[in-house]
Amino acid sequence: DTAVSQTPKYLVTQMGNDKSIKCEQNLGHDTMYWYKQDSKKFLKIMFSYNNKELIINETVPNRFSPKSPDKAHLNLHINSLELGDSAVYFCASSPTGGGRYEQYFGPGTRLTVT
């Protein structure tokens, strides 16, 4: 029944480690996103994929690498984690075309780097 799901919900890890966050949507949307929400609750786009192709790549360190195995999944891999990567990461999806731009968000993954 869940529209956009993410795993894990919480992730605590040490600096220097590599970790992945997974996202799946069952809404049939073509476009998926990763957002980062910092401690001040500001939501900022990181990446956007449309039909498995990268269409937006904001100024994000290349330690972050998104991968979309199919249009229902968008994973985020982070290498060499740093303290400043601690944040909540949200996956979202949206329909394409039809003049619609609303996005549907997952529950978030709270990443803490120690």
Partner 1 sequence: QKEVEQDPGPLSVPEGAIVSLNCTYSNSAFQYFMWYRQYSRKGPELLMYTYSSGNKEDGRFTAQVDKSSKYISLFIRDSQPSDSATYLCAKPPTGANNLFFGTGTRLTVIP
Site of interaction with partner 1 (CB under 8 A): 4, 31, 33, 40-45, 48, 50, 55-56, 90, 94, 96, 99, 101-108, 110
Measured at the alpha carbon of residue 80, what is the angle toward residues 73 and 5, in degrees to the nearest 5? 25
Give 36 or 78: the residue with its C-beta nearer to partner 1.
36
Residue 30, beta-bridge partner list? none
| Residue 111 Cβ vs partner 1, minimum distance, rounded to whole Å | 14
Of 69 and 99, which CB lies nearer to partner 1 in the complex structure?
Answer: 99
Min CB(11)–partner 1 separation in Å: 14
Nearest distance in Å: CB 94, partner 1: 7
If we measure between CA atoms, which residue out of 46, 47, 58, 51 comes closest to residue 97? 51
Residue indicated by tokens 């329909």 = 95
Do 103 and 93 contact (CB within 8 A), yes or no? yes
